Structure 1
Amino acid sequence: MFGVVRLSHGLPRFLGSCAIAGVLVAGVLAPVAMGAGMLSNQVSDSVDGISASLATSQQPLVTTVTDRDGNPIATLFDQYRLPATYDQISAAMKAAIVSVEDRRFWDEGGVDPKGMLRAALHDSSGGSTQGGSTITQQYVKNYLINVVDRNDKAAQYEDKADTLARKLREAKIAVQLGQSESKEDILTGYLNVVEFTGNVYGVGAAAKAYFGTTADKLNVQQSALLAGMVNNPNLYNPYTHPQQALERRNQVIDDMVTNRTLAEKDAEIAKATPLGVLDDGPRIPSSTCMGAAPDAGFFCQYAEQYLIQAGFTADQLAVGGYTIRTTMDPVVSQTVKNAVEHNVPTTQYGVANTFAVIRPGAQTHEVLAMVANRNYGTDPAQGETSSNIVANASNVFGAGSSFKIFTSAAAMETGKAGLNTPLPNQAGQCFTQPGANQYTAPYCVQNDGTNYPDPISLRDGLATSPNVAFVGLESQVGMPAVLDMARRLGLRNTLTTNDAGATPDPSSSNPQYSEPQSQYFSNKLSFTLGNSPVSPLEMANVSATLMSGGVWCAPNPILSVTDRDGAPVAVKQQACEQVVSPGLANSLEAGLSQDTISGTSASAARAAGWSHPDIGKTGTTQQSESVAFVGGVDDYAVSSMVFADGPKPEEVCPGTPVHLGSCGHGAFGGTVAAPPYFTAFNQLLAGKPDTPIPAADPAYLNARS
């Protein structure tokens, strides 16, 4: 196989090889020296550069993405190629390709003087160019087309040009290759680089795609079919041109008899067999994360983008032959996938249910699951979406009152409130917007219901979620502190998007589209009520930050990356940050520990038989287009969001299944978003000891300013 070691023997040897090639070619082409002489300088000048490219270019291989246990979940590739060693290719395959393509392969020196002379004499007389290429020369040609120049259409055109200049160039390089590589390596390299049809490259991939077998198990008739395809993969495609493929296969079998690598009686038996290819083939796996299992597609896409942001290119991932071992936990992922599909079926019109799970930690926040009732794909009729609705700021309606976490944390950090602090909580109240002038309308808000005490403690407010108390607290703390806290705790990407969940458009005159959320909400008290686009994954990471003692880490989907040779590849990772004090993080956890006991999700928790100590905060937008549950239990940080995702969004209604409609009361985070959490983690935590919630730090029980 072409490689740095075998083709980097130094300039003296290279020049010697070229000298040999020059003498050989000159001798062969003496009768046509007048016609070919003008090509000499052109060919010689190009050989150095091409040989260097061959020496440093590696064949594109399939990258495999696995879960944390090493089980493959997806493949990424530009060319479907499964490399095989010489010993991993059947004797029949090697005999078939030599018999049909270059029967003097084992005896020649890289070029076939007789074949070249025949081609040169014919070409110089003005006829169409002739063959005469050896397997070694074809190896060079295919390596240039399929490896070195695979992304350069103009160069590929030159590599395929049926000209004497191209053949001379190949001949010189082939002689060099014949001097430095064994026949076994050349034949192996050739069989690994050639294209069969479509996106199938190399005999290993062809054996699997056409016959569902491996290269070492190819029999005579299978080998003959594949060997015959190399000359013209489209014409001899057994699916589109079965008769031509059959005739070509049988011709190769006859050539094997002529070349004395197959007995005539065995040839007759082989020729009498049908093509024997797989039905509906060639069977090629998906080359993107859209081929992943339903519970792994969004995770795979996030892992791919994470690596690109870490410095890999998409092309590197598609050709590098890496093994990417992700942090995905297959048991957690499948369990929560089942739970959300039970809550909202995959094809339910207009309703998405996302669910993200992250493992907290002071050194890394490993992502364990990223699922939705939707699947990652391109067919909306099948409940598929090509947008990563778990990672992106896809919930454009917001996470509702779960954003009160940020106001609470900012108030506790600045000393404006502690868990025991009484907050004014009228049934309704109007507030002056930040930076308001005499023309700015006040922001008026009401509580959802009349059973709230006035005042109410911050601790009880986190459980029962009155709007007036938190908008008043946000007004007292100030928007800069609240927005900064949201960023620090986890909304790093969310706050860079605009109020439509997209990249801000500076050309727009509307601040809703031109400004990032971090700027747009700087004078809007509605932020604490969670009416802005948000990433479900980042909201799970907010919980992970609190559960990590106030340490934020980027949601990490990668355990390791190894290259095609099994060597580890470093992945650049963003450093973790201590964003709030451990005392504040623990105190806020304590404040969030009552939601499933006496708060907004308590009824659903009781119905599910839930008894584990946990943290939680529900959210419901004003028109119930989105509901959320954000929290955590044991060493799992979670977010479950149910929101309208169709072209005609409406109120989300509870039911079996959850659906869109005009149901009056609408859905709530506790009744619609929390149940998948209870369903999944009742299963995952069965038989395991409970993990207690940290006690509040006395420093954060009361206001300090």
Structure 2
Amino acid sequence: MGASRNLIKLSGGCVVAGGLVAGILLPVTAGVGKVAADVSDSVVQITPASISADMPGVTTITDRDGKPIAEVYDQYRLPVTSDQISQTMKNALISIEDRRFYQEHGIDPRGLLRAAINDSVGGSQQGGSTITQQLVKNYLVNVVDKDNKAAQMADRADTLTRKLREARTAIELDKNLGKDEILTDYLNVVEFTGKVYGVEAAAHAYFGTTAAQLTVPQAALLAGMVNNPTTYNPYTHPVDAKRRRDTVIDAMVTNRAIDQNAAIQAKAAPLGVTGPDVPASTCFSAQPDAGFFCQYALSYLQSAGFDPAKLSNGGYVIKTTMDSRVSAAAKDAVTANVPTTQSGVANTMAIVSPGATSHEVLALVANRNLGTDAAQGQTTRNLVTEVSDPFGAGSVFKIFTAAAALESGAARLDTPLPNPPSQCFPLPGSKKCYTVHNDGDYADPITLTNGLATSPNTAFVGLETKVGLPDVVAMASRLGLRTTMQSNDVGKKPDPGSANTQYSQTQTQYFQDKPSFTLGNSPVSPLELADVPATLMSGGIWCPPTPILSVTDSAGHPVPVNAPACEQAIAPDIASTLMTGLSQDTVSGTTAASAHAAGWTRPGIGKTGTTQTNQSVAFVGGTDNYAVSSLVFADSSTPGQLCPGNPVHIGTCGHGAFGGTVAAPPYFKAMRTILGSSQ
């Protein structure tokens, strides 16, 4: 009975195999049945172009000179051409996976027949698939359906419909691609455990070499892994991996790819794997002075319309505007002022290059580093570009009052401004008034130029009231605080459902009737603050602070980047006049002592700011072709008063830190390094 039953199975297997091959090779008609119809409906449309274009790759972010600063990816894959893969690697794969690869036409009828008969008589299941069929399967699993677990299960399902679809697709692919192209595409798409995909990435990760230089034992190990990357992982299953490697070497002898002597030597070699050496797949892998820049470049491209998923697996090369020399100098300056692990104190610096057609960002650094270990001074938030300083830039905001006054004609640089020690200013639409005090002794009246240099409060609140709050608030956006002014008064996206206007309104809306605006007590973005002097130094032309020089796709073709157009924010003569007014800060104003201590004599513009509770201090400046913001602010969940010292710290220290004494010194240190002997 057992022999009869096996004979029936064997006969059935032959019928199945014959029907399988016939169903593949013959045109699909209504008479073939439901399976054939399902297959016809589900044949995958794969073209040579789609394989290379859709294959996930590593996106590389570089500085302006093309030096890589980070890599981001979903699948660590480094696509290569056929001539970049050793013949040894090709021979190893063909020997173990598909000996008749060069003779068949996408499928192997003999292999299918053998597999069908073996399955039907109760033997181990065999796929009978060719390298071309495996390319189809791996393309579906690793590319088309890489983010769809259910679809991936269907791609792997042991069903007749799936096998017929795979085989029919393979036949079509064989008609359109040469054998070497199929082999190359397969070796580029296949998985080699974990996030490592493709033979070039595997050669780098496991052996520290290239696909072109793989030796016989190395190639045999990799060829053996494609059958089951988990089972034959050389790190977790070294014994199984070596056994499989040696099986491949024996197959290479059988297929006359190597001789017996070479096989003996290859089998005697150790596995020889290193690592695995796989780069980190986020901006966290960047150097300390480049992490925030990398993060900003990606978010900037997303806001310009790039698909986030495509950015992380599209194989782009993103050349940024980052100047590594400038960035290193800025990083050294902020960490010298506030150490990376200093509790509760952040120091940011953004440097922008002015221009009439673009404002290129050169450096985005902080004493903190981008990362997840808070104990090591790391943060996942972009302290330099986001609206991250919750306390504000203090008197730096007096720039906006001065600009609005000059534009409206309410004041000139030599206009005497009333400047009593204190004054209570009427609040719009209210019987109450807003009391302001000067912190120190000042002339009364005081000219606008001297006021910008020494920063009295009553003179500027009075001037703000004279110009009108709406114009001053609008000027902040015009000169550069675009995202800042669209956030609410705690630096977040406005919540329309909140009954508290501090949370529900944008800063532009919230400060329409609050004279405190010119004293800079609201959240601000350090990068946007650096764009303000950049706008003045560009003849009043605002441009979005761009981190991108170019983007090219995986084929090396340029990809356009959409960005907001530059605008003439204020007239050139207003910008020039205001720069003249800001030119005395480092000479006779609030940063004069720090400038002298630093040996700084170069002309430029500057303005300091200190919030009332000394929880944030700021300096914005510009010289040569550099516009800069330096902010020091409390950044813990329990913020306190900033105190000067070595290092700057949180404590109780009377008047506390000031913009001129704590935020300006990093500017002088960085710029002296950047400008060198020309300073």
| TM-score, length of structure 2 as denominator length | 0.94
The one-letter code matched in structure 2 to 1:609 is: G
2:439 to 440, 448, 456: 448
Cα distance in structure 1, aligned partners of 2:552 and 2:425: 56
Does residue 420 (structure 1) correspond to residue 420 (structure 2)? The answer is no
1:147 matched to 2:143? The reply is yes
Work out whether 1:239 is the aligned partner of 2:230.
no
* Shift of residue 153, structure 1, vs aligned partner: 2.5
Q: Which moved more, 1:237-246 or 1:344-353?
A: 237-246
Quote the offset at 1:530 in angstroms. 0.6
User: 2:676 aligns to what SS in structure 1?
Assistant: coil
- 1:658 corresponds, among 622, 644, 648, to 648
Matched with 1:175 is 171
Question: Residue 130 of structure 1: which of 113, 126, 130 is its match?
Answer: 126
Q: Aligned to 1:120, what secondary structure does the other structure show?
A: helix
Deviations 1:365-400 (A, max 9, x none): 111111111111111111111111111110001001
CA offset at residue 154 of structure 1?
2.4
Q: In 1, Cα distance between the equivalents of 2:164 and 2:84?
A: 33
Number of equivalences: 659
SS of corresponding position for 2:152: helix
Q: How does 1:113-124 map to 2 (within 5 A)?
A: 113-123=109-119
Q: Residue 479 of structure 2: which of 489, 513, 517 is its match?
A: 489
CA contact (8 A) 2:24 2:168 kept: no
Give the counterpart letter for 1:188 in structure 2: T
Return the alpha-carbon distance in structure 1 between the equivalents of residues 303 and 649 of structure 2. Answer: 37
What corresponds to 2:383 in structure 1? 389
Q: Distance in 1 between matches of 2:516 and 2:45?
A: 63
Q: CA deviation at 1:265?
A: 2.0
Indicate if the aligned counterparts of 1:400 and 1:626 stay in contact, CA closer than 8 A.
yes
The match for 2:614 is 624
Q: Which residue in the other structure is 2:584 paired with?
A: 594
C-alpha distance in structure 1 between counterparts of 2:451 and 2:122, whole Å:
92
Aligned counterpart in structure 1 of residue 633 of structure 2, from 613, 622, 643: 643
Give the drift of 1:429. 1.3
Distance 1:177 1:50, change over 3 A: closer
1:198-224 residue CA offsets vs partner (Å, 9 max, x unmatched): 111100111111111111011111111
Which among 422, 428, 448 is matched to residue 458 of structure 1?
448
Rate the CA distance shift 1:200–1:552 in 2: closer, same or farther, 3 A. Answer: same
The one-letter code sitting in structure 2 at the alignment partner of 1:448 is D
Alignment match, 1:204: 200
In structure 2, what is the Cα distance between the partners aligned to 1:389 and 1:28? 59
Question: Deviation of residue 257 (structure 1)?
Answer: 1.9
Alignment of 1:128-527 (within 5 A): 129-278=125-274, 281-436=275-430, 438=431, 441-449=432-440, 451-527=441-517
Which secondary structure does the structure 2 equivalent of 1:639 belong to? Answer: strand
Cross-structure match for 2:14: none
Q: 1:159/1:501 Cα in 2 relative to 1: closer, same or farther (>3 Å)?
A: same
| Percent identity for Structure 1 against Structure 2 | 64
**Could you say if the C-alpha distance between residues 28 and 572 of structure 1 is closer, same or farther in structure 2, counting changes exceeding 3 Å?**
closer
Q: For residue 260 of structure 1, report the CA deviation from its aligned partner.
A: 1.8
Whole-Å Cα distance in 1 between the matches of residues 639 and 121 of structure 2? 73
- What is the alpha-carbon distance in structure 1 between the residues aligned to residue 336 and residue 602 of structure 2? 22
Aligned-partner SS, 2:192: strand
Q: CA deviation at 1:53?
A: 10
Q: Tell me if the contact between 1:22 and 1:172 (Cα under 8 Å) persists in the aligned partners.
A: no
Partner amino acid, structure 1, of 2:339: P
CA distance in 1, matches of 2:132, 2:310: 28
Scaled by the length of structure 1, the TM-score of the pair is 0.90
> What secondary structure does 1:559 align onto?
strand
| 1:258 Cα deviation from its structure 2 partner | 2.1
8 Å Cα contact 1:28/1:116 also seen in 2 = no
SS in 2 for 1:685: helix
Opposite residue 191 of structure 2, the aligned amino acid is E
Residue 592 of structure 1, CA deviation: 0.4
Gap change, CA 1:81 and 1:149, over 3 Å in 2: same
RMSD (CA atoms):
2.1
User: Per-residue deviation at 1:625?
Assistant: 0.6
**Any conservation in 1 of the 2:47–2:173 contact (CA below 8 Å)?**
no
CA distance in 2, matches of 1:123, 1:225: 28
Provide the C-alpha distance between the structure 2 equivalents of 1:139 and 1:52, rounded to a whole number of angstroms.
Answer: 12
Alpha-carbon spacing, 1:27–1:422, altered in 2? closer, same or farther (3 Å) = closer
Amino acid at match of 1:550: G
Cα separation, 1, equivalents of 2:176 and 2:541: 56
Paired AA for residue 638 in structure 1: V
After the TM superposition, which of the residue ranges 651-660 and 530-539 deviates more from structure 2? 651-660
Matches within 5 A, 1:78-97: 78-97=74-93
Q: Which residue of 1 aligns with 2:29?
A: none
1:121 deviates by 3.2
Among 88, 99, 104, which residue is 2:100 paired with? 104
| Per-residue deviation, 1:517 | 0.5
One-letter identity of the residue aligned with 2:281: S
Corresponding position: 1:67 with 2:58: no
Tell me, yes or no, if the aligned pair for 1:483 and 1:518 is still in contact at 8 Å.
Answer: yes
